[in-house]
Chain A
Amino acid sequence: MKSNITGWKDVYSFTLKQVLKTKAYRISYIILVLVVLLSMPIAAKLLFNNAENENGPSPITKVYVNNMTQFTDVSFEDIKSIDSFKHIDFEPMNKDYNEVVGQITEDERHSIILNISEENGAYSLHLSMIKDGPLKKSQLQRLGDVLLSSFTNSRMESIGVSDEQLTLLQTPVVSKITMTDINGEEILDEDTSISLSEYMFVYGILFFVMMTTVLMGTQVATSIVTEKSTRVVEYLLITVKPLALMIGKVFAMLTATIIQMLSMVAALVISNKISANYSSGNGSLLSQVLPSDLFANINIMNLLLCIVLVFLGLLFYAVLAGLAGATVSRLEELNEGLMLFTIVSMVGIYIGLGAANTLMSSGTNTYIMFAFLFPLSSPFILPGAILVGKASLLLVGIAIVLQLAFIVILFRFVAGVYETLILHNGNTIKIKELLKIARRQ
């Protein structure tokens, strides 16, 4: 005797096999993996090729110092203590300005001119290089910063400020606002906000889950509408119950999408490793962006919790997409049918995005707690928050329980209306009508 879900495994294996065999899936799979695989090395090459290696020697070989001020005790010899600049020669400009420019243009293309001027007591250091030469502005900027510091030191020395006094002068003044209790004791306010790099990490995970959800939801809905529009569903329904049909289909699409996404993650890891070869010794691209203490929160338990949360989230949205797909009869109407899925997923995504921003700007608060626990947004925001250490085990446990409860409610609703929807042929069923059907059932 077949139950309501008997046969779902047959539906699952057939659907998965056919999806994996389709050209569209294979082509999109190859393109996505290739894009991810190439993205990091290309980004590293673009980023690090333009950026000079900060520890490497500067390509500037000589600086002609054109001092137009009354301050003559200028010396830049102290910058020779810095490895990157120790090879640079500083030569006072004793020749005609234009002659020096000609000389640089012809023979000394790695040389630059430093113009020091004074106006109303304010000094100005102006670095000039030849147009279309081998040097870049960023390289001059780097040297300029060091020269400015050296020039300031020279000036201080000239007016009799000692090194110790200079250090004291340059020490920053720190201000702090605290609250005290009735006894005058300071109330410690823990900083629960995240850094920019942590935000980028949380955002990256949110974006990844969002992409997966949208991709999978569309695939589930398309698959169901295709069966409806080709009338295959009539043949299927005399062999399996509608619920078994939907479960098999949802899990098949979920598997296909997870295969695609896991391949992308694997490609990302490989791509990141390759990117180290293009980063001029700065390490892999992600190591520049990810929080340095990220790995402290990556352990089996946290990873498992993240996987469970993402899986439950995908399951919820896949069932919702299945329901959306069943409300239309033709592929052309799919966008209209997907309205409910789009609205609900957008609500979840935007709450998650808002939570990520709030987490960076002001740390944990009531809104963040809501976003962590709300079943629509938790799959998007909570995995990232777990991995940056901003979600406690208890909180994650409650979020999972709420997520499960939400799925059970949705499943019961879908089970009630799916049989009617799957054979519906005609105009798209609106939410109002959907509720009517549910009530009738």
Chain B
Amino acid sequence: MSLSVKNITKKYGDKLVVDDLNFEMSEPGVYALLGTNGAGKTTSIRIILGMLAKNSGEVLWQGKPLDVVNTNVGYLAEERGLYPKYSLMDQLMYFAKLRSVDKHTALDRIKYWSNRLGVDEYIFPKKGKSRKASKPNQADQLSKGNQQKIQLMVALLSDPELLIIDEPFSGLDPLNTDLFKSIIREEISKSKYLIMSSHQMPTIEEFCSDITILDRGKVKLQGNLSTIKKSYGRVNLLVKCEQDIAPYIASLNLQIVNKTPSEYHLRVEGEDQAMAFLSKLIGDNITVIKFELREPSLHEIFVEKVGVVQDEK
């Protein structure tokens, strides 16, 4: 199985909102679409899902044009969509039915996921003396986080082969973020295809092997995350010492990326320059608390790519 997105272009009038987007998932895993607000992530996802017409390009699933209605696709939209006044159970059963999940299986899955996400009290509310549900059982009575959990349930009810999640962690507290992460890991372990859009870089680094960075509809960087990082080399040096090391930095003409009261973030040309700097510090009896030479983080790459482009503009 594979997913191929080929030469997708979308225009609104004269405005190009997605410009020649290409990527491929030849094996299960998580593909990340990154970008600032308005970069074209959600538009790209809607085009992949066939909700928006494209000006050119194609989306192939198993070598054939992707027909979401006839493929087991799960979708978690950035903007949550639930009927505000209908019972949650009715809605979940409805979405399951539309996905051709039989009633018995749907009920089992609803029980499993509601228990897993800690929302079973809203989906299976106990009736009070007044015959009314003792807990809220409609979407508009739930918090944003709980609505998001119900929405994730909707996406997972059909046990989809392809799961598309748009900003899955926005508005979640740390505990629920961890809960969502564990569920995503579980889905990855089931060899599923996931497309995730986010602007939370650490999260992307945690899950995704391949990325595309979009900026105003254009692809700014694309490929395997490890390869991209390796291509930058280990040029980020984090140094923390007891004494002031500013003169040493100046003498070696090192570039300061960031400086905090206790730590320097430096840009070096390579490992040799870093080792020379360390030898000098040790030779002068400077107490080194931290000396870390690493590849750039995704956040740094993102800021560099998108920031540079925006500066140029």
Q: What residues make up the interface of A, taking CB atoms closer than 8 Å to B? A: 1-2, 6-7, 10-11, 14, 17-18, 21-22, 226-227, 230-241, 420, 423
Chain A hits for B49, CB < 8 A: 237-238
Contact B69 A238 (CB under 8 A): yes
**B139 to nearest A CB, angstroms?**
8
A10-B98, A14-B90 known; A235-B69 Cβ under 8 A: no
Chain A: CB-nearest residue to B158:
A239
Chain B hits for A240, CB < 8 A: 69, 98
Question: How many Å lie between the Cα of A1 and that of B79 in the bound state?
Answer: 29
Question: How many Å lie between the Cα of A22 and that of B138 in the bound state?
Answer: 12
Contact B77 A10 (CB under 8 A): no
Residue B277 interfacial (CB < 8 Å): no
Contact A7 B81 (CB under 8 A): no
Contact A18 B82 (CB under 8 A): no
Question: How many Å lie between the Cα of A10 and that of B90 in the bound state?
Answer: 12
Starting from the known contacts A231-B81, A239-B95, 7 additional A-B residue pairs (CB-CB under 8 Å) come to: A14-B97, A18-B86, A230-B84, A232-B81, A234-B51, A235-B95, A238-B68
Chain B hits for A238, CB < 8 A: 49-51, 68-69, 73, 75
Contact A234 B77 (CB under 8 A): yes
Question: How many Å lie between the Cα of A236 and that of B70 in the bound state?
Answer: 13
Contact A239 B51 (CB under 8 A): no
**A272 to nearest B CB, angstroms?**
37
Contact B83 A232 (CB under 8 A): yes
Contact B81 A235 (CB under 8 A): yes
| Residue among A231, A232, A233 having the largest count of chain B Cβ atoms under 10 Å | A232
A18-B90, A238-B73, A241-B69 known; A231-B97 Cβ under 8 A: no
14 contacts between A and B (CB under 8 A): A14-B90, A18-B83, A226-B83, A227-B83, A230-B82, A231-B80, A232-B83, A234-B51, A234-B75, A235-B81, A237-B50, A237-B51, A240-B69, A423-B46
Band of interface residues on B: 20 to 34
Chain B hits for A230, CB < 8 A: 81-84
Residue B94 interfacial (CB < 8 Å): yes
Residue B131 interfacial (CB < 8 Å): no
Chain B hits for A423, CB < 8 A: 46, 51-52
**A433 to nearest B CB, angstroms?**
12
B81-105 CB contacts (< 8 Å) to partner A:
81-86, 90, 94-95, 97-99
Residue B213 interfacial (CB < 8 Å): no
**A213 to nearest B CB, angstroms?**
25
Contact B83 A1 (CB under 8 A): no
Residue B53 interfacial (CB < 8 Å): yes
Question: How many Å lie between the Cα of A340 and that of B154 in the bound state?
Answer: 36
Chain A hits for B98, CB < 8 A: 7, 10-11, 236, 239-240
**B102 to nearest A CB, angstroms?**
13
Closest 3 CB pairs of A and B: A231-B81, A239-B98, A232-B81
Contact B73 A14 (CB under 8 A): no
Please tell me which one of the listed residues B81, B86, B94 contacts residue A234 in the complex, with CB atoms under 8 A apart: B81
**A249 to nearest B CB, angstroms?**
13
Contact A235 B83 (CB under 8 A): no
Contact A2 B69 (CB under 8 A): yes
Chain A hits for B50, CB < 8 A: 237-238
Contact B95 A233 (CB under 8 A): no
Contact A235 B70 (CB under 8 A): no
**A149 to nearest B CB, angstroms?**
69
Contact A17 B90 (CB under 8 A): yes
Question: How many Å lie between the Cα of A235 and that of B154 in the bound state?
Answer: 9
**A224 to nearest B CB, angstroms?**
13
Contact A420 B53 (CB under 8 A): yes
Chain B hits for A1, CB < 8 A: 70
Chain A hits for B82, CB < 8 A: 230, 232
Chain B hits for A237, CB < 8 A: 49-51, 68
**A243 to nearest B CB, angstroms?**
11
**A211 to nearest B CB, angstroms?**
25
Chain A hits for B53, CB < 8 A: 420
Contact B81 A239 (CB under 8 A): no
Chain B: CB-nearest residue to A233:
B81
Question: How many Å lie between the Cα of A227 and that of B94 in the bound state?
Answer: 14
Chain A: CB-nearest residue to B79:
A231
Chain A hits for B51, CB < 8 A: 234, 237-238, 423
**B155 to nearest A CB, angstroms?**
8
Contact B70 A14 (CB under 8 A): no
Chain A: CB-nearest residue to B166:
A234
Contact A231 B90 (CB under 8 A): no
Chain A hits for B69, CB < 8 A: 2, 6, 238-241
Contact A22 B52 (CB under 8 A): no
**B63 to nearest A CB, angstroms?**
17
**B195 to nearest A CB, angstroms?**
13
Chain A hits for B95, CB < 8 A: 235, 239
Question: How many Å lie between the Cα of A424 and that of B79 in the bound state?
Answer: 15
Chain A: CB-nearest residue to B90:
A18
Contact A14 B94 (CB under 8 A): yes
Chain B hits for A231, CB < 8 A: 77, 79-81
Question: How many Å lie between the Cα of A231 and that of B84 in the bound state?
Answer: 11
Chain B hits for A17, CB < 8 A: 90
Contact A235 B75 (CB under 8 A): yes
Contact A10 B83 (CB under 8 A): no
Chain A: CB-nearest residue to B139:
A230
Chain A hits for B79, CB < 8 A: 231, 234
Question: How many Å lie between the Cα of A240 and that of B94 in the bound state?
Answer: 12
Question: How many Å lie between the Cα of A18 and that of B139 in the bound state?
Answer: 14
Chain A hits for B83, CB < 8 A: 18, 226-227, 230, 232
**A43 to nearest B CB, angstroms?**
37
Chain B hits for A18, CB < 8 A: 83, 86, 90
**B260 to nearest A CB, angstroms?**
42
Contact B70 A2 (CB under 8 A): yes
Chain A: CB-nearest residue to B75:
A238
Chain B hits for A14, CB < 8 A: 90, 94, 97
Question: How many Å lie between the Cα of A226 and that of B68 in the bound state?
Answer: 23
Question: How many Å lie between the Cα of A420 and that of B54 in the bound state?
Answer: 12
B145-160 CB contacts (< 8 Å) to partner A:
154
Contact A239 B86 (CB under 8 A): no
Please tell me which one of the listed residues B80, B85, B99 contacts residue A239 in the complex, with CB atoms under 8 A apart: B99
**A106 to nearest B CB, angstroms?**
64
**B64 to nearest A CB, angstroms?**
12
Chain A hits for B97, CB < 8 A: 10, 14
